Homo-oligomer: A and B are copies of this chain.
């Protein structure tokens, strides 16, 4: 097959980790007889510096005419500590999610047997953890009206959800649960929020269409606890945008390295694939960032094209690297470690 893939490296360590995902994807393409046409485009702080906005029209055109988007990371401390900044890198990411209709963010958390010891959690707590969050990505408080009044003394952010938005996300959740262990947890704060009550009543009404799926409803604060206590008690979790942001990051550290967790954002024909980790400006340009989450995001991309063998080839080589200690310093425990690009080279060669 022939693919056009928009390549949005973004900020911080983004360009370095993206380079490795490209190497590995090219090796997979070669092995399986595909042809990838990479189309680089600007985003984030890098785009603000170059053209004054974080998701330029040109980038959107490139994404729209591609089969998928592979994304690095976004964000820069220069903007974070200036609450009055008018343009910020994150706006690019949000604009892109909305413009591409990526309403479902798929964030798996799984463990690697060779890394169980690296987790902050005890081994017996995390063994067998294999859960997936479906985070709603184009609604809620991220996209509601926001602003100031009373001469800047009062700030507001509106959280809004429609039943249709909940339904399309929940549908993906039920479907995913059917392909797994048929357990679905709806995470909300229905004891306080009206939007959460809409989530809960909508999901409750859909239960009858999926009689085999066992649905539970938990408050977001309870889930924040249980994720640390018994992560392996969860399977598929669905939740709104902000809760998903917080809980998926919390879940990502369970695996022993937040450098390992990939994600997919779906909804329209064009999927976006990106690591869960951020732009880590402190590590940028040092060839020390762990590229595996981005490489695994490329695996999700192939799988989303229906190319399961290709995805598996990537997962297998990542596992092999972890077993053989071909890792960046975050996973090396003070022992031998490799640079970002050396890890990428090794993965590509061993595909």
Contact = CB atoms under 8 A, between A and B. Distances in A.
A228 B204 contact: no
Contacts of A48: none
A229 B121 CA distance: 9
Interface of A: 75, 79-81, 83-84, 88, 90, 94, 120-122, 125, 141-142, 144, 146-148, 150, 152-164, 189-195, 197-198, 200-201, 204, 217, 219-222, 224-225, 227-230, 242-243, 245-250, 252-254, 258, 278
Given A88-B191, A94-B192, A155-B161, A224 B197 contact: no
A283 to B, nearest CB: 15
A344 to B, nearest CB: 25
Nearest to A142: B192
Q: Which residue among A90, A156, A160, A219 has the maximum number of chain B CB atoms within 10 Å of its CB?
A: A156
A177 to B, nearest CB: 19
A162 B130 CA distance: 42
A158 B246 CA distance: 19
Nearest to A124: B120
Copies per complex of this chain? 2
Contacts of A217: 80-81
Contacts of A220: 245-246
Nearest to A195: B155
16 contacts: A83-B190, A88-B191, A120-B121, A121-B122, A141-B141, A141-B159, A148-B194, A155-B162, A155-B198, A157-B158, A157-B193, A157-B194, A189-B245, A224-B246, A224-B250, A250-B250
